[in-house]
Amino acid sequence: MVTIAINHGTVVDTREKKCRKLHVGLEGSRVAVLSETPLQGERVIDASGCYVSPGFIDVHGHIDGELYPAELSACQGVTTTVGGNCGYSPADLELFFRTQEEQGFPIHQAMLVGHGTPLREAVGATDRYKKADARQIARMVSMAEEAMEQGACGVSFGLDYVPGCAIEEVEALADAAARYGRICPVHTRLLTEGDLYSLFEVIKVAEQTGVHMLISHFVYQYCEGLVEQALHMVDRARGKGLSIHIDSGMYTNWSTYFDTATFDHENICINHWRWEQMVVATGQYKGRVMDEELFFYMKKHCPHEALIFFEGKEEEVYQCLVKDYAVPSSDTGSYGRGEGHPQIAGTFPRYLRKMVREEKLLSVEEAVYKATFLPARLFGLDRKGCLEPGMDADLVVFSMEEVCDRSDYPHLGMPDAKPVGIPYVIVDGVCVVEDGQYQDTRTGKVIRERGDRWQRSF
Ligand SMILES: [Zn+2]
């Protein structure tokens, strides 16, 4: 008898990209058995009519220990989130790891160390329009190495937020990540919306350092007519043997805070952005379409509120996500209840609904592989991304006919409305979602990365 038996479902074999009618038995925090006959268990879940998949791995999040976005992620089937993205991670990673280990968390967390915070900040390179000097760069490198010793899974960049950062600075840190065999997710710098140089310069960094690079929320960086050319550049770089992957959410309309360089007035002018392309995502003006007066008021008095910027076409999302080197990601962040961007609650169900059920751009096996096995390999999560005996008991049970996102933009609906069609989500052998209801469990662990995993091929 196993602890939890999940019977009568269709199991997605992510290694072979095949589906099989199998019954899954979990023993504590591990997958124990896959059986042709129904299993006896202390708990029995009937997964008839549903797919049983490894838990989804969200490679681009900003949850970083916050409970509410973790709840919204769990309800989407995400069992592991990667935090510390866009150059922004907790100041003391060791302290973060220890606190999370003591408290437990609804889902597993892998963490990157951020180039902007804590590294730039700690060495006094606080002016985002100025480059760091050689001494500061050397100190950042040694701090990044220390963070990777502590278990950071790589170094993240938010170059859009530090327009003054020189490429030598990026290269030095990418080189450190390469030496540790870790990954570099990069939110590229965008001086103007029509600019592909931002992509060229990071591809160059991958070439110089040999680092494994993940270009963050690709469609947010290169939508509005640039996606095809941008993807072509990645194709060519990969053709030369560079290890470059991309991630993308299911939306083209991105969100960030008032006090970033992105929303400096000068940047808005250079890009010819219109006020009506912006909607307030958080705070007392949530849902308000921007106008000039409100913008300058909020930039001054509400710097920590977020804005959503509307651009691009949905087809551009599909163009990105059909690439075999693309993985889905949410870019979820820490927002209060009823606030934010629909990506925080809708990304993964929307991915399944759009990419598989409605547009038929990916098979269910391929879609699940890209949300599980591929990101697990990218981030060195050896016991995740695949349902086999001995693997971690992180699973999601979903109905392909019913899975549907319900979240919407703040001027149109509820950004944090939970999806339907995902009845069970299991983290470390415990149901964090049961009968579609969130359970507020704390079985998620921090994942400290050790050693160089790129010896292996995938
Ligand atoms: Zn970002």
Determine the Cα angle at 206 with ends 201 and 207, to 5°: 90
- DSSP category for residue 386: S
Distance between Cα 187 and ligand 1 center (Å): 5
State the DSSP H helix or E strand holding residue 334, giving kind and residue range, or none if neither: none
Taking 50 as the pLDDT cut, the residues of the chain under it are 455-458
Distance between Cα 458 and ligand 1 center (Å): 26
Distance between Cα 217 and ligand 1 center (Å): 7
Q: pTM of this prediction?
A: 0.96
Distance between Cα 218 and ligand 1 center (Å): 9
Distance between Cα 421 and ligand 1 center (Å): 29
Residues in CB range of 142: below 8 A, 6 or more apart: none
Residue spans of beta strands (DSSP E) within 258-407 = 278-280, 306-309, 326-328, 395-398
Which two tokens mark 15?
A: 């290694």
AA identity, residue 44? V
Distance between Cα 28 and ligand 1 center (Å): 36
Alpha carbons 158 and 117: distance in angstroms, whole number: 10
Distance between Cα 401 and ligand 1 center (Å): 32
Distance between Cα 79 and ligand 1 center (Å): 21
What is the arrangement of strands in the sheet containing 326-328, beginning at the earlier edge strand?
113-114, 155-158, 183-187, 212-215, 244-248, 326-328
Distance between Cα 189 and ligand 1 center (Å): 10
Distance between Cα 363 and ligand 1 center (Å): 28
pLDDT in tens, 410-440: 999 999 999 999 999 999 999 999 999 999 9
Distance between Cα 156 and ligand 1 center (Å): 9
Q: Which fold has domain 56-253+311-382?
A: TIM Barrel (3.20.20)
Distance between Cα 250 and ligand 1 center (Å): 15
Distance between Cα 247 and ligand 1 center (Å): 11
Distance between Cα 87 and ligand 1 center (Å): 8
Distance between Cα 86 and ligand 1 center (Å): 4
Distance between Cα 237 and ligand 1 center (Å): 22
Distance between Cα 63 and ligand 1 center (Å): 13
Distance between Cα 299 and ligand 1 center (Å): 19
Distance between Cα 406 and ligand 1 center (Å): 23
Distance of CA 319 to the CA centre of its chain: 18
Report pLDDT for 452.
59
What is the arrangement of strands in the sheet containing 56-58, beginning at the earlier edge strand?
56-58, 78-83, 108-111, 446-447
Distance between Cα 220 and ligand 1 center (Å): 9
Distance between Cα 216 and ligand 1 center (Å): 6
For domain 2-52+409-440, give the CATH number. 2.30.40.10
